[in-house]
Amino acid sequence: MEVVELIFPVFAVIVTGYLFSRLKLLPDSVGDSLIQFLFYVAIPALLFVVIAQEETWALLNWPFIIGFGGALVIVFFLMLAFGIYVLKSRPVAATMLAMISVACNTGIIGLPLLHSLFGNKVIVLAALANIVVIALFLIQIFFLELDRSDTTDGSGSKLEHMKKAVLNPLVLSTIVGLAYAISPLTLPKIVVNYMDILSAAVAPCALFAVGMSIKPASIVESGKIVLVAASTKLIILPALALLIVLVIGADPLVAVAVVVSAALPTSKSEYIFAKQYHLSEELTGETISLTTAISVITLVLWLIALSRIYPGSFSI
């Protein structure tokens, strides 16, 4: 019962956002505005204020990195091989398929979800998940740029994308927070209070915006490859992550954070890459929509399963 009481309010907010969108009580642009606010203001504030006050030793959690990063890398290469050898796709198209099967929405969905369920004690882990995904983005950009290296602005474009990745507000706030944590400086109370007010908006705004973005029609329109990518993202990837953390004997809270992070829907950043490089745009868009919609159900199922495996982690 305790787990239901913990999970239900989180997904009730998502359903509320969906209902407001479907009933046209708010314009669709509200969801986009909330995402922008979260991306540039609220989530960076939360990442910075939590990480900056964290002990240095806690900032490098190897069981989490091995569990989450290991699962992403293994599934990435399996899907890459599937795309090249089974679907006979070009390597660059297979790279896009592999990425939409593993790239997790750790910023806009993962961090608020984990924060809602477990509080500030998992923010560092959520930040690490974000860093792992950003590292995959950088590798993806490298391969995508190689494919169009014959263009005159190839090197300049590559540098520009690398620069944007580093200056991503979520990445930048994490880096600055890490630097502050390592330093002997202490955050003034007035700064902490200011950041706390901003970060308090993360969970409700993010979950409500996710609800507004859900489009059920995408489930009907999705083709076989989209279903393969979505199934890999929401079922196979978190299952592999769970297997890894069980094998390495990770701390229960770390293990739960690993599996939840792996079970997140596909990152919306992938659609930006698809549009930028004119690759698999329809496949990417449908996968993001489908995984976002279905994850409302699959995440609940994963959380219930995790509460049985690691019951102590869900104590309020």
pLDDT in tens, the chain (316 residues): 456 666 778 778 888 998 998 899 999 889 888 888 888 888 889 888 888 887 766 667 899 999 999 999 999 999 999 999 999 888 888 999 999 999 998 877 888 888 888 887 788 888 888 888 878 877 787 777 666 654 445 455 556 656 665 677 877 887 888 888 888 888 899 999 999 899 888 888 888 887 887 776 655 555 789 999 999 999 999 999 999 999 999 999 999 999 999 999 998 778 777 876 778 888 888 888 889 888 888 998 999 999 999 987 776 4
pTM above 0.95, yes or no: no
CA-to-CA distance for 214 and 44, rounded, in angstroms?
A: 24
- According to DSSP, the residues that pair with 266 across neighbouring strands are 104
Q: How far apart are CA 130 and CA 128, in angstroms?
A: 5
> Which residues have C-beta within 8 Å of that of residue 214, sequence separation ≥ 6?
14, 18, 21, 289, 292, 293, 296
Q: Which domain holds residue 123?
A: 2-314
- What residues does 104 pair with on adjacent strands? 266
**61 and 211 Cβ atoms separated by less than 8 Å:** no
Structural domains of the chain, count: 1
The single residue listed with the structure tokens 């915006």 is 209
What is the domain-level CATH number for residue 166? 1.20.1530
Cα–Cα dist 171/254, whole Å: 21
